[in-house]
Structure formats: structure tokens, C-alpha cells
Amino acid sequence: MEDKFVKISATTLAEIIGGLYYGSDEDLSRTEDLIEWLEAHTEQSVFVNMEK
């Protein structure tokens, strides 16, 4: 059976959020703004190097 969950570190999570944050032209410094932006832009993606 395939595992449906992936364990990521807090550092990797920060890289994902940072990639979205710095890739946007909008001010996403507030958590609420970031969440609203993610809900409105579900097509966005970030590449993360998992071979660290």
C-alpha cells in the first residue's frame, strides 16, 4: 500500500512558504493574506530539493 503522507522538516516547510511568498508580487507577510492567496491561486507550485 502506498503511503499517502510525506514527512517534511520545518526548514523544508519554510522553503515552500518562502518560495510562494517571494514568487508573488503581492504582500503576503501576514499569515491571513498568505492563506487567502493560496486559496485563490491553487495552481501555484514550488520545487523543493528533497535530497539534502
Q: Is the model's pTM score more than 0.85?
A: no
Mean per-residue pLDDT, 21-40: 83
Please check the confidence at residue 49 and state whether its pLDDT lies above 80: no
Mean per-residue pLDDT, 2-8: 78
DSSP characters over 19-30 = HHHHH-SS---S
Query: Looking at residue 11, what is its pLDDT?
Result: 87
Chain-wide mean pLDDT for the chain? 80
**What's the full length of the chain, in residues?**
52
